[in-house]
C-alpha cells in the first residue's frame, strides 16, 4: 500500500521535509535533500535493483555523505528508502562469495564498521524511517541511528543465522544494548522477523506511524519530543557477567537442539560473543568482526550461501510473462488435495474444492482455519482466507478455473476418469494438472484429446511447510502451459523444480533407495533408533525410519514397488513384515502406529540403543547420490544446482552440506564410485555405481587437461 507513495518519497513528506536537492552526481545509490527546520533527508535507492542491499559501494558513498555532513552538520538526518520492497533486505550476499580468506573478510568488515560507527557517533540527531523489510545489514544501519520510526507493515529481523552467520555490522552489540538482551539473542539465534507491532513493543522502533504522519514524527524526534527506546534496569541486570553466564547455558541447550554446533557453528559463536563481551560495546564490536570473518570461511556458511542462491535461482524460474492463475479448482479433498486447496486460498487465489465425500471437504476447511491460527492471522484476514475456499459439491468450478488440479488416489483409471470429465468442460486456456507422485505423464495423457495442456504439479507433504513443487513436463506438453505452471508456483510462494516425466520424477526416485535401505537394515536387526540417529548425525532433519512413518508406509511401499518395476536399477523386495504392516493398516504417523508408535504427533523412541555398524551412513547416503547422478545422466533434471535445490527444499537434505551433488563433488566421483563398488561387493548389485560417475570423472579429467 505504501509502495506508490514511497516511489516519490511521499508528496506530503517532500513538502514538509526535503525541499532542495544537494546530491552529488557520483552518488549512485543515495539522494540527499535539505528540508525544513535544519533536517536533511537521505534516501537509499540502490541503482538498477528492485530492493536495497548494503554493498561495499553503498557504504563508500554513505561514508562520503557523512563526511560532507560532518563539515556542515545539520540539526537532524533522516534515512529512508524509496524502494517499494522496503528499507533494506540486508547485505549484498554476492560479495560474500568473492572473499577468499578470513583476513580479507575481517579487513573488509572492519572498514564497513568504521562507516556504521561514524553514523552511530554523528553529532546531530539521526532517524531511520522504516517501511517493508528491514533485515540484516539494513537493520544494522537503522540501529546505528538515534531513533527508528516504522510505517505499518514493516518487518525487522536478523536472518544471518540462516546463512551460517550472525550479524556483522554491529548488530550483536547494538541490539542487545537497545532491547531486552534475552529477546535480542532469541531474534538473532532464530533468524525470525518481527512485525511492526512487536518491534515497537520490544523497543526496536520508537514509534509506529502512518505514512502521512512520518514528517511530523521525524520533526518530533529531532526536537527531542520522543523518548528513545531502551531496556531499562532489567536489561542492565541481564547484561552483567554472572547473569550472562547463567542465561547462556540455557541458550546453548536450546540452540543445540535445532542446530547442532558441529554442523551449525554460528549460534555458538553468537552466544560466546555475548557471554564474553555483552555490556561492553567496543569489545563486542571488535570481537564481532573476527567472529563473523571466521564463520564466513566455514564450509557451513559457504554451503548455506550457496543454498540461498539456489533458492533465488528457483524463484527466478517463476518470473515468466504467463497469465496469472486467479482461480484453481481442486478435484479430491484427501490429505494432499485439501492441503493444496487451503494453501492456494491462503495465498490469495480463489479456490473451489470438489470431493464426493462432503466430510472431507469440511475437514479441508477446518484444516485451513487451523493454518490461519498457526500463522497468527487476524480475524479479518482469517475470514477473507476462508471465504476464498469454496466447497463445490457439484464440481462446477471446472468451467471457471484457470487451473484444474486432480489429487485423487494413485490409480490411472481414476485419474483418467477425472480428465475425461474435466477436459470437456474446461476453458480453452486452462491448465490441467496432476499431483501424481509416481505415475508417468505419458500414461496419464493417453486418453486426452489435447495432451499438451497436461502438466504435473507434484506437491510435498505437508504442503504448508515444504516449499518445493516438482513441475513435470512431457514431450507433448505446450511450453506455454509449463511457463504458466511455473508462474503459478511463484504465486503461491513455492519453489519449482522443473523435471521431465520419469519413474518417481526426481525427489521420490532419489529418496526411495534411502528409505528402502533403512528397511533392509531393520530386517537385519539394526534398531530403528540406531539408523535414525546416524542419519541425524549426518545432518538430516529426521532419520529414514521416522521419515517413512511420516510419509506413510503405504505410500513408501507403493513408490518402491513402482520403481522396482520400471527401473533397470536393482532394488530389493520389501520385507514381508512391511507388507503385513500396510495390510493391517499400521501406516505410520497418520494411523498412530507404523515402524514407531506415535503420540501427540511424535515418534516414541528408545533413548539407549546399540551403536551403528561403521558403514551405516554410507549404506544410506550413497544410494541417494547414485540415484541423483542417474537422474542427471538421464536428464530428468537439468543441472546439479537444481537437483541440489530440489532435494534440500523437497526433503530437507542437510542444507549445511549444500545438497547431495555438492556433497558428492567434495567427496569426488572416483571415490564415490569406489565406495559404491565396495558396498556392491558386500551387499549386492543394488549398490552398483551409475555410469554417470565414470562419465563425470572423464569429463573433469578432460577439463583439467
Q: Which string of b and e fits 666-699 if b means at least 16 CB within 10 Å?
A: eeebeebbebbeebbeeeeebbebbebbeebeee
**Across-strand partners of 457?**
471
For 293-314, what is the mean pLDDT? 96
The domain over range 3-304 is classified in CATH as 3.40.640.10: no
Whether the Cβ atoms of residue 522 and residue 595 lie closer than 8 Å to each other: yes
Residue 140 falls in the annotated catalytic set: yes
Q: Which string of b and e fits 550-576 if b means at least 16 CB within 10 Å?
A: bbbbbbbbebbebbbeebebebbebee
Report domain 508-635+668-704's class: mainly alpha
- pLDDT of 169-227, one tens digit each? 999 999 999 999 999 999 999 999 999 999 999 999 999 999 999 999 999 999 999 88
| CATH topology agreement for domains 3-304 and 508-635+668-704 | no
Identify the band that residue 671 occupies on the pLDDT scale cut at 50, 70 and 90: very high
DSSP assignment letter at 634? T
Enclosing H/E stretch for 382: helix 379-387
Q: Which of 13, 140, 470, 546 is the catalytic position?
A: 140
Q: Which of 60, 67, 114, 160 is the catalytic position?
A: 160
Torsion angle defined by CA atoms of residues 669, 671, 674 and 680, in that order, rounded to the nearest 10 degrees: -80
Whether the Cβ atoms of residue 368 and residue 353 lie closer than 8 Å to each other: no
Residue 160 falls in the annotated catalytic set: yes
Give the separation between CA 60 and CA 657, rounded to whole angstroms.
34
- pLDDT of 375-420, one tens digit each? 988 899 999 999 999 999 999 999 999 999 999 998 999 999 999 9
**What pLDDT is recorded for position 87?**
98
- Residue 262: CB atoms within 10 A of its CB come to 12
Q: Which residue has the cell 561403521?
A: 614
**What pLDDT is recorded for position 376?**
83
Backbone angles phi, psi at 594, to 5 degrees: -160, -115
Q: Is residue 705 over pLDDT 50?
A: no
- pLDDT of 220-269, one tens digit each? 999 999 887 666 556 666 677 777 777 888 889 888 888 899 999 999 99
Burial of 9 (0-12, 13-18, 19+ CB in 10 A): buried
Give the separation between CA 299 and CA 659, rounded to whole angstroms.
12
Q: What separation, in Å, do the N-terminal and C-terminal C-alpha atoms of the chain show? A: 57
Backbone angles phi, psi at 559, to 5 degrees: -65, -40
**What pLDDT is recorded for position 461?**
87
**What pLDDT is recorded for position 250?**
86
- The CA–CA distances, whole Å, from 557 to 186, 332, 414, 551, 576 equal 42, 22, 20, 10, 11
Whether the Cβ atoms of residue 150 and residue 196 lie closer than 8 Å to each other: yes
Domain ranges of the chain: 3-304, 327-505, 508-635+668-704
Identify the band that residue 21 occupies on the pLDDT scale cut at 50, 70 and 90: low
CA 368, 373, 376, 381 torsion: positive or negative? positive
pTM for the model: 0.89
DSSP assignment letter at 163? G
Residues in the chain: 705
The domain over range 327-505 is classified in CATH as 1.10.220.70: no
Amino acid at each position: 500500500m505504501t509502495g506508490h507513495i514511497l516511489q516519490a518519497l511521499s508528496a506530503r513528506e517532500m513538502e514538509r521535509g526535503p525541499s532542495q536537492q544537494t546530491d552529488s552526481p557520483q552518488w549512485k545509490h543515495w539522494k540527499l535533500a535539505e528540508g525544513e527546520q535544519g533536517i536533511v533527508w537521505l534516501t537509499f535507492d540502490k541503482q538498477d535493483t528492485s530492493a536495497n542491499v548494503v554493498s561495499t559501494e553503498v557504504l563508500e558513498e554513505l561514508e562520503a555523505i557523512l563526511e560532507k555532513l560532518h563539515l556542515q552538520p545539520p540539526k537532524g538526518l533522516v534515512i529512508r528508502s524509496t524502494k517499494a520492497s522496503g528499507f533494506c533486505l540486508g547485505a549484498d550476499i554476492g560479495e560474500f562469495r568473492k572473499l577468499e580468506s578470513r583476513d580479507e573478510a575481517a579487513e573488509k568488515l572492519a572498514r564497513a564498521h568504521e562507516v556504521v560507527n561514524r553514523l552511530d557517533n554523528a553529532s546531530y540527531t539521526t532517524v531511520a524511517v522504516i517501511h517493508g523489510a528491514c533485515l540484516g545489514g539494513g537493520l544494522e544501519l537503522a540501529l546505528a541511528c538515534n531513533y527508528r520510526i516504522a510505517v505499518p507493515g514493516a518487518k525487522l529481523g536478523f536472518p544471518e543465522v540462516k546463512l551460517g552467520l550472525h550479524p556483522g555490522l554491529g548488530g550483536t552489540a547494538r541490539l542487545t544494548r537497545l532491547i531486552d538482551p534475552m529477546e535480542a539473542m532469541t531474534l538473532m539465534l532464530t533468524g525470525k522477523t518481527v512485525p511492526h507491532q512487536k518491534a515497537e513493543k520490544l523497543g526496536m522502533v520508537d514509534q509506529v506511524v502512518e505514512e502521512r504522519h512520518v514528517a511530523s514524527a521525524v520533526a518530533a524526534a529531532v526536537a527531542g519530543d520522543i523518548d528513545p527506546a531502551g531496556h531499562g534496569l532489567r536489561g542492565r541486570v541481564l547484561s552483567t557477567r554472572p547473569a550472562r553466564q547463567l542465561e547462556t547455558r540455557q541458550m546453548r541447550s536450546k540452540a543445540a537442539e535445532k542446530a547442532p554446533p558441529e554442523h551449525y557453528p554460528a549460534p555458538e559463536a553468537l552466544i560466546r560473543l555475548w557471554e564474553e563481551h555483552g555490556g561492553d560495546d567496543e569489545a563486542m564490536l571488535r570481537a564481532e568482526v573476527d567472529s563473523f570473518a571466521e564463520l564466513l570461511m566455514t564450509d557451513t556458511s559457504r554451503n548455506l550461501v550457496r543454498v540461498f542462491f539456489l533458492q533465488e535461482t528457483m524463484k527466478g524460474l517463476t518470473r515468466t510473462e504467463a497469465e496469472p492463475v486467479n482461480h484453481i479448482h481442486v478435484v479430491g479433498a484427501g490429505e494432499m488435495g485439501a492441503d493444496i486447496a487451503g494453501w492456494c486460498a491462503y495465498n490469495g487465489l480463489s479456490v473451489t474444492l470438489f470431493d464426493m465425500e462432503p466430510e472431507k471437504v469440511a475437514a479441508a476447511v477446518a484444516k485451513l482455519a487451523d493454518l490461519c491460527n498457526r500463522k497468527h492471522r487476524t480475524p479479518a484476514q482469517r475470514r477473507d482466507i476462508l471465504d476464498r475456499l469454496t466447497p463445490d459439491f457439484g464440481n462446477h468450478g471446472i468451467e471457471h478455473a484457470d487451473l484444474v488440479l486432480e489429487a485423487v488416489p494413485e490409480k490411472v483409471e481414476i485419474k483418467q476418469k477425472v480428465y475425461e470429465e474435466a477436459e470437456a468442460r474446461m476453458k480453452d486456456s486452462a491448465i490441467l494438472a496432476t499431483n501424481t507422485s509416481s505415475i508417468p505423464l505419458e500414461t496419464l495423457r493417453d486418453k486426452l484429446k489435447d495432451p499438451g495442456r497436461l502438466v504435473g504439479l507434484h506437491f510435498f507433504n505437508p504442503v504448508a511447510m515444504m516449499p518445493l513443487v516438482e513441475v513435470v513436463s512431457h514431450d507433448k506438453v505446450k511450453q506455454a502451459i509449463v511457463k504458466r505452471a511455473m508462474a503459478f508456483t511463484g504465486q503461491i510462494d513455492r519453489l519449482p523444480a522443473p523435471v521431465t516425466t520419469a519413474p518417481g520424477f526426481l525427489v521420490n526416485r532419489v529418496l526411495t533407495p534411502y528409505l528402502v535401505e533403512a528397511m533392509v537394515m531393520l530386517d537385519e536387526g539394526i534398531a530403528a533408533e540406531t539408523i535414525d540417529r546416524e542419519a541425524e548425525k549426518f545432518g538430516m532433519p529426521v532419520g529414514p525410519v521416522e521419515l517413512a512413518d511420516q510419509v506413510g508406509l503405504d505410500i513408501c511401499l507403493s513408490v518402491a514397488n513402482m520403481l522396482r518395476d520400471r527401473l533397470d536399477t536393482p532394488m530389493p523386495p520389501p520385507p514381508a513384515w512391511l507388507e503385513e504392516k500396510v495390510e493391517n493398516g499400521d501406516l505410520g504417523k497418520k494411523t498412530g502406529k507404523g515402524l514407531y508408535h506415535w503420540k501427540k504427533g511424535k515418534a516414541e523412541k528408545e533413548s539407549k540403543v546399540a551403536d551403528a555398524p561403521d558403514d551405516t551412513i554410507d549404506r544410506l547416503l550413497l544410494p541417494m547420490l547414485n540415484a541423483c547422478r542417474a537422474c542427471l545422466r538421464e536428464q530428468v533434471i537439468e543441472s546439479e544446482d537444481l537437483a541440489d535445490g530440489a532435494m534440500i527444499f523437497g526433503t530437507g537434505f542437510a542444507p549445511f552440506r549444500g545438497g547431495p551433488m555438492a556433497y558428492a563433488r567434495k567427496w569426488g566421483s572416483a571415490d564415490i564410485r569406489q565406495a559404491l563398488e565396495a558396498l556392491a561387493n558386500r551387499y549386492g548389485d543394488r549398490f552398483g555405481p551409475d555410469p554417470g560417475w565414470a562419465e563425470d570423472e572423464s569429463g573433469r579429467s578432460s577439463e583439467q587437461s
